[in-house]
């Protein structure tokens, strides 16, 4: 009797469990086509696409969830390009009430094999690159006027790929690998908060970013708004030929997928140009517009700080046809700088050869390609040092001697003459720096030179004129003074004083100064 009662007592909950299980199973079976229809219809409408879905099933046990595989969203049904969105498989936790309600409510959706491909912008492909208004979310129509039929608390993707097709024929799409992507509060009619990690290939480093994404632009997906903050740490500049150091950068961005306004700063405490091998601290602040379709970047404002010197620049970093990489073109303006700071980037010696305040303007061009930075770098500009001193004792001693003799005072060589108005035009090509109209003055003399300086070998090759205030005989004494008086007609300078044709050769560390005898003896030279 007791056993019979126990069996009946157990039979009641068991029966209830079977009934509840049958009800849940029946509900899940009825919900499967319902959920599938909502998902397919919503994706078709919201993405202006045709949706293919291999499988979708509502599972009741052990907890309610939606699982599926083989989702492909083809924008406007196009089969000539990859799907707009493709997902290998997905699963989502859900409540039964959420699956039966409006909108369809899912809790956490986990995605495997997520890829997004943004085709060329059919409406705006002819817009000039870098337009500011194209990068502003408030200029974009998103068709987000209707309530979203689907609401998702969180979307998680551990490995995803975003490809943005180039508007330039024959160019491969821009590809971004996205790790640990998390979207919170996702719906078609509003922006969703996100966090993600990306691996930047060149310079190689990891980017952590967070912000908002959406709402999705139905007609032109690449014009979907986004904005947020990024943190780029320990990017290895050694992956770029010719330079080195570890770069970190932080900043903010806003715009649409195809054009983003970026504002930030970088810090490279050990920046080095390989040919010089002198690590220097480099900090920059910048504002830029990035075209996500091809990676082209328009630098509206760049302020770089090298030691105690400030460099201002603006320009573009653009893709080059038929050459891997990007071409950098900048207009550089230096008004608050020290020449010794800038020479640390180009001269091997730990002690720069020259000191003084410098102003400089130049066109900076860094072509694409695999060559070292210093060999492909091109400069074309002008500079001016109001006052400068040479750090090499022997060079400065010769400058002092030149100054005293130029004044006709051979005995006064103890003072330290400052080089004034050191200025000239320069062109850098193939690691050779060529100077035109290079002039400088010391009390009693002016030097005018034309020539070149090889950055790799540090070889000097200059020729020009030394203009002295004094007559040639007044620069020396004894038998030399007699010979100088005889030679004076060859070196007489219009208006008084002397003009000597000179050459400068040797190396930066051991310069050789001498009279250019050939030019001196050439009539009419």
Our count of domains for the chain comes to: 1
Using pLDDT thresholds of 50, 70 and 90, give the confidence band for residue 323: low
CA 327/CA 382 separation, integer angstroms: 22
Using pLDDT thresholds of 50, 70 and 90, give the confidence band for residue 238: confident
108 compared with 4, residue with greater pLDDT: 108
Domain-embedded: residue 260 = no
Q: Name residues whose C-beta falls within 8 Å of residue 3's C-beta, 6 or more positions apart in sequence.
A: none
The average pLDDT across 499-519 equals: 80
Using pLDDT thresholds of 50, 70 and 90, give the confidence band for residue 508: confident
Whether a cis peptide bond, with omega within 30° of 0, leads into 215 is: yes
Q: State yes or no: pLDDT of 519 exceeds 80.
A: no
Domain-embedded: residue 252 = no
CA 19/CA 21 separation, integer angstroms: 5
Domain-embedded: residue 180 = no
Nearest to 450 by CA among 468, 425, 469: 425
431 compared with 170, residue with greater pLDDT: 431
Determine which of 95-99, 319-323, 434-438 has the lowest per-residue pLDDT on average: 319-323
| Per-residue pLDDT, 409 | 61
- Say whether 161 sits in a helix, a strand or coil: strand
Highest mean pLDDT among 14-18, 29-33, 403-407, 419-423: 419-423
CA 448/CA 404 separation, integer angstroms: 18
Domain-embedded: residue 444 = yes
Taking phi over 0 as left and psi of -120 to 50 as alpha, with beta for the rest, 45 belongs to alpha
Domain-embedded: residue 448 = yes
Whole-number average pLDDT of the chain? 79
Q: State yes or no: pLDDT of 318 exceeds 60.
A: yes
**CB neighbours (10 Å) of residue 3?**
7
| Per-residue pLDDT, 22 | 44
Using pLDDT thresholds of 50, 70 and 90, give the confidence band for residue 194: very high
63 compared with 506, residue with greater pLDDT: 506
In contact, 180 and 134? CB cutoff 8 Å: no
What range defines the domain where residue 497 resides? 392-520
Domain-embedded: residue 410 = yes
The average pLDDT across 317-331 equals: 79
The average pLDDT across 398-403 equals: 64
The average pLDDT across 5-24 equals: 47
Using pLDDT thresholds of 50, 70 and 90, give the confidence band for residue 402: low
| Per-residue pLDDT, 515 | 76
Highest mean pLDDT among 56-60, 136-140, 300-304, 416-420: 300-304
The average pLDDT across 365-369 equals: 85
Pairing of strands 114-118, 174-187: unpaired
Using pLDDT thresholds of 50, 70 and 90, give the confidence band for residue 38: confident
Of all residues in the chain, what percent carry a pLDDT higher than 70? 76
| Per-residue pLDDT, 202 | 73
6 compared with 252, residue with greater pLDDT: 252
Per-residue model confidence as pLDDT tens digits over 122-173: 534 334 444 444 444 444 444 445 678 889 999 999 889 988 887 776 677 7
| Per-residue pLDDT, 251 | 95
Domain-embedded: residue 374 = no
**CB neighbours (10 Å) of residue 49?**
21
State the number of CA atoms in the 13 A half-sphere of 337 facing the CB.
26
| Per-residue pLDDT, 19 | 44
Q: State yes or no: pLDDT of 466 exceeds 50.
A: yes
Buried b / exposed e over 65-100, threshold 16 CB at 10 Å, is bbebbebbbbbeeeeeebbbbbbeebebbbeeebbe
172 compared with 30, residue with greater pLDDT: 172
| Per-residue pLDDT, 125 | 38
In contact, 305 and 284? CB cutoff 8 Å: yes
298 compared with 395, residue with greater pLDDT: 298
| Per-residue pLDDT, 129 | 45
Q: Name residues whose C-beta falls within 8 Å of residue 209's C-beta, 6 or more positions apart in sequence.
A: 195, 196, 197, 198, 228, 229, 230, 231
Domain-embedded: residue 494 = yes
Pairing of strands 114-118, 85-93: antiparallel
Q: State yes or no: pLDDT of 459 exceeds 60.
A: yes
């Amino acid at each position: 009797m007791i056993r019979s009662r126990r069996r009946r007592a157990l039979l009641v909950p068991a029966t209830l469990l079977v009934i509840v299980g049958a009800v849940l199973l029946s509900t899940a079976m009825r919900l499967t086509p319902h959920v599938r229809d909502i998902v397919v219809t919503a994706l078709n409408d919201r993405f202006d696409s045709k949706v293919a879905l291999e499988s979708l099933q509502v599972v009741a046990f052990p907890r309610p969830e939606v699982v599926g595989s083989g989702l492909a969203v083809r924008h406007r049904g196009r089969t000539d390009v990859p799907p707009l969105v493709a997902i290998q498989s997905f699963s989502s936790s859900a409540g039964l009430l959420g699956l039966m309600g409006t909108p369809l409510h899912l809790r956490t959706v986990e995605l495997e094999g997520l890829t997004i491909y943004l085709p060329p912008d059919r409406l705006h492909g002819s817009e000039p690159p870098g337009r500011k208004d194209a990068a502003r979310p408030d200029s974009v129509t998103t068709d987000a006027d209707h309530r979203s039929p689907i609401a998702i608390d969180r979307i998680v993707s551990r490995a995803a790929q975003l490809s943005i097709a180039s508007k330039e024929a024959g160019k491969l799409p821009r590809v971004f690998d996205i790790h640990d992507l998390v979207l919170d509060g996702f719906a078609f009619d509003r922006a969703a908060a996100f966090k993600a990690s990306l691996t930047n290939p060149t310079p190689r480093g990891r980017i952590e970013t967070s912000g908002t994404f959406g709402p999705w632009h139905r007609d032109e997906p690449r014009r979907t708004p986004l904005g947020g903050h990024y943190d780029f740490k320990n990017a290895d500049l050694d992956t770029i030929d010719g330079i080195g150091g570890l770069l970190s950068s932080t900043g903010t961005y806003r715009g649409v997928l195809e054009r983003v306004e970026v504002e930030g700063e970088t810090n490279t405490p050990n920046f080095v140009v390989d040919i010089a091998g002198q690590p220097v601290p480099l900090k920059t602040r910048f504002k830029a517009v990035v075209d996500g379709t091809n990676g082209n970047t328009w630098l509206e404002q760049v302020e770089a700080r090298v030691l105690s010197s400030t460099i201002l620049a603006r320009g573009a970093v653009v893709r080059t046809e038929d050459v891997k990489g990007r071409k950098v073109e900048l207009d550089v303006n230096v008004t608050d700088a020290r020449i010794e700071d800038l020479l640390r980037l180009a001269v091997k010696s730990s002690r720069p050869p020259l000191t003084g305040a410098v102003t400089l303007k130049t066109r900076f061009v860094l072509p694409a390609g695999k060559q070292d930075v210093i060999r492909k770098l091109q400069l074309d500009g002008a500079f001016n040092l109001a006052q400068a001193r040479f750090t090499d004792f022997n060079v400065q001693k010769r400058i002092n001697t030149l100054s005293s003799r130029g004044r006709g005072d051979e005995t006064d060589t103890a003072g330290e003459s400052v080089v004034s108005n050191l200025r000239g035009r320069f062109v850098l090509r193939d690691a050779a720096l060529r100077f035109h109209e290079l002039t400088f003055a010391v009390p009693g003399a002016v030097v005018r030179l034309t020539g070149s300086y090889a950055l790799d070998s540090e070889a000097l090759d200059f020729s020009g004129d030394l203009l002295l205030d004094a007559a040639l005989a007044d620069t020396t004494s004894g038998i030399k003074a007699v010979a100088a008086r005889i030679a004076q007609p060859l070196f007489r300078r219009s208006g008084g004083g002397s003009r000597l044709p000179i050459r400068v050769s040797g190396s930066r560390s051991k310069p050789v100064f001498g009279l250019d005898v050939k030019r001196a003896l050439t009539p009419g030279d």
